[in-house]
């Protein structure tokens, strides 16, 4: 189909039923319904943007795009896809949800009508995704669902999603493998004489070949500053700093060409050593800053020290000084450091948090 879209909206997209069979989503739905019952909710609406989603909707639907999911206290959810039905056939092949409906507009009104038809004309309605709504969408939801006691359920929902299930850990490892291969390809191209920008292009080429759905990359195409691809450039610097993040099946991972013994690697190692159940995100950040040269701390904080990872590259908790959020058993963290200085360096690590410490997730 020829569409009036001048950019690549997504890469390879499919539902791997061997990785995520139907019963995986059924079990997730039961977990969420249990949390709903404990909170006294009559129904739950999970809202997401059209493309760059937070992963909240995908957790239950498997659909790594936008729309809304209506979860009842019992039974299977209903998914509402924004826009017309042009992509309905494609979307239906990506999700286990059988009740999928295209909604061109006024999604709040459609949800209210569906709830009324289900015999739930009022009551406590949980909402996840207020932060994803446009001003117009928020106003329409408030108007259409005014007959319900609306409860912001985001914090409780995030607590359900924080510990990663075994198949989720495997999905992140698979994404990490693609990201690592992309970094290796970029480094090999640079070592063979490619420019820094060309190394980033080669990294994306390999990531797409290996079925990355989405791709993000930074490279030092101008001195030591990390930048996304902006234009073809023949500039080849004395050093290559390459950071790659990819998503497959909605699950993200990041990798970089870290070198042992550098300031960035030492900082990441310090964070890994500090991360454990009960530690705060702020303490993990302070561990990195404590081993970094003073000149490198600003760049490390500017580019970020990491966060939770899974269906989003920046899940809670954000690793930053002063964050008192406690690390949760079974959660995954993606830690990173970009240390600027006389000799710039970059490093990453993906870890699973446990009571005895953090376990590194390594590529397949």
Report CA-CA distances (Å) from 355 to 182, 274, 275, 328.
33, 11, 9, 9
Co-location of 110 and 252 in the same domain: no
Give pTM, 2 decimals: 0.93
Q: Quick check: is 6 in a domain?
A: no
Q: Quick check: is 279 in a domain?
A: yes
Report CA-CA distances (Å) from 114 to 62, 69, 107, 118, 233.
22, 12, 11, 6, 54
Cα 169 from Cα 4, distance rounded (Å): 37
Co-location of 177 and 230 in the same domain: yes
Co-location of 28 and 82 in the same domain: yes
Contact between 254 and 245 (Cβ < 8 Å): yes
Co-location of 103 and 232 in the same domain: no
Q: Pairing state of beta strands 357-361 and 345-354?
A: antiparallel
Cα 157 from Cα 101, distance rounded (Å): 24
Co-location of 235 and 316 in the same domain: yes
Co-location of 207 and 263 in the same domain: yes
Co-location of 179 and 125 in the same domain: no
Q: State which of 107, 140, 161 marks the end of a domain.
A: 161
Q: Which of 78, 232, 351, 225 is nearest to 359 (CA)?
A: 351
Structural domain containing residue 177: 166-361
Cα 256 from Cα 143, distance rounded (Å): 47
CA 83 to chain centroid: 24
Co-location of 313 and 189 in the same domain: yes
pLDDT, position 4: 42
Contact between 311 and 251 (Cβ < 8 Å): yes
Co-location of 185 and 287 in the same domain: yes
Cα 307 from Cα 350, distance rounded (Å): 10
DSSP of 121-176: SSEEEEEE-GGG--HHHHHHHHHHTTTEEEEE-HHHHHHHHSSPPHHHHHHHHHHH
Co-location of 196 and 146 in the same domain: no
CATH number assigned to the domain comprising residue 314: 3.90.230.10
Please state the domain count of the chain: 2
Q: State which of 161, 191, 222 marks the end of a domain.
A: 161
Co-location of 85 and 204 in the same domain: no
Q: Quick check: is 10 in a domain?
A: no
Co-location of 101 and 247 in the same domain: no
CATH number assigned to the domain comprising residue 152: 3.40.350.10
Cα 12 from Cα 211, distance rounded (Å): 5
Q: Quick check: is 315 in a domain?
A: yes
Q: Which of 14, 24, 7 is nearest to 248 (CA)?
A: 14
Q: Quick check: is 176 in a domain?
A: yes
Q: State which of 131, 161, 191 marks the end of a domain.
A: 161
Determine how many CB atoms are found less than 10 A away from the CB of residue 310. 25
pLDDT digits (tens), the chain, 364 positions: 343 444 455 688 889 999 999 999 999 999 999 999 999 999 999 998 765 567 899 999 988 777 899 999 999 999 988 766 666 777 788 899 999 888 877 889 999 999 999 999 999 999 999 988 889 889 999 999 999 999 999 999 999 999 999 999 999 999 999 999 999 999 999 999 999 999 999 999 999 999 999 999 999 988 788 989 888 888 898 999 999 999 999 999 999 999 999 999 999 999 999 999 999 999 999 999 999 999 999 999 999 999 999 999 999 999 999 999 999 999 999 999 999 977 899 999 999 999 999 999 999 8
Q: Quick check: is 16 in a domain?
A: no
Cα 351 from Cα 17, distance rounded (Å): 25
Cα 59 from Cα 42, distance rounded (Å): 20
Cα 240 from Cα 344, distance rounded (Å): 10
Q: Quick check: is 57 in a domain?
A: yes
Q: Quick check: is 46 in a domain?
A: yes
Contact between 248 and 13 (Cβ < 8 Å): no
pLDDT, position 85: 63
């Amino acid at each position: 189909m020829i569409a009036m879209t001048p950019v690549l909206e997504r890469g390879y997209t499919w539902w791997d039923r061997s990785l995520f069979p139907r019963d995986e989503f059924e079990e997730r739905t039961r977990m969420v319904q249990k949390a709903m019952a404990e909170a006294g909710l009559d129904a739950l609406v999970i809202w997401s943007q059209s493309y760059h989603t937070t992963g909240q909707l995908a957790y239950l639907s498997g659909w790594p795009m936008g729309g809304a999911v209506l979860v009842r206290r019992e039974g299977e959810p209903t998914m509402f896809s924004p826009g017309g039905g042009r992509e309905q056939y494609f979307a239906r092949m990506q999700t286990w949800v059988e009740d999928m409906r295209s909604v061109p507009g006024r999604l709040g009104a459609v949800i209210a009508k569906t709830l009324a038809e289900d015999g739930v004309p009022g009551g406590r309605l949980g909402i996840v995704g207020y932060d994803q709504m446009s001003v117009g969408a928020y106003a329409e939801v408030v108007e259409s669902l005014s007959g319900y006691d609306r409860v912001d359920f985001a914090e409780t929902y995030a607590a359900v999603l924080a510990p990663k299930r075994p198949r989720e850990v495997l999905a992140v490892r698979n994404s990490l493998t693609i990201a690592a291969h992309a970094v290796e390809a970029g480094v090999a191209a640079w070592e063979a004489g490619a420019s820094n920008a060309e190394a980033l292009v080669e990294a994306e080429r390999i990531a797409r070949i290996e079925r990355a759905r989405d791709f993000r990359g930074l490279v030092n195409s101008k001195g030591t500053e990390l930048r996304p691809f902006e234009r073809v450039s023949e500039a080849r610097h004395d050093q290559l700093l390459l950071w790659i993040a990819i998503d497959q099946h909605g699950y993200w991972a990041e990798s970089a060409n870290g070198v042992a013994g550098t300031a960035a690697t030492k900082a990441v190692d310090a964070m890994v050593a500090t991360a454990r159940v009960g530690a705060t995100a702020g303490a993990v950040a302070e561990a990195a800053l404590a081993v970094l040269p003073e000149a490198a701390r600003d760049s490390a904080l500017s580019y970020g020290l990491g966060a939770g990872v899974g269906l989003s590259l920046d899940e809670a908790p954000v690793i930053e000084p002063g964050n008192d959020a406690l690390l949760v058993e079974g959660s995954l963290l993606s830690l990173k450091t970009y240390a600027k200085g006389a000799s710039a360096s970059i490093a990453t690590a993906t870890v699973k948090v446990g009571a005895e410490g953090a376990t590194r997730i390594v590529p397949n």
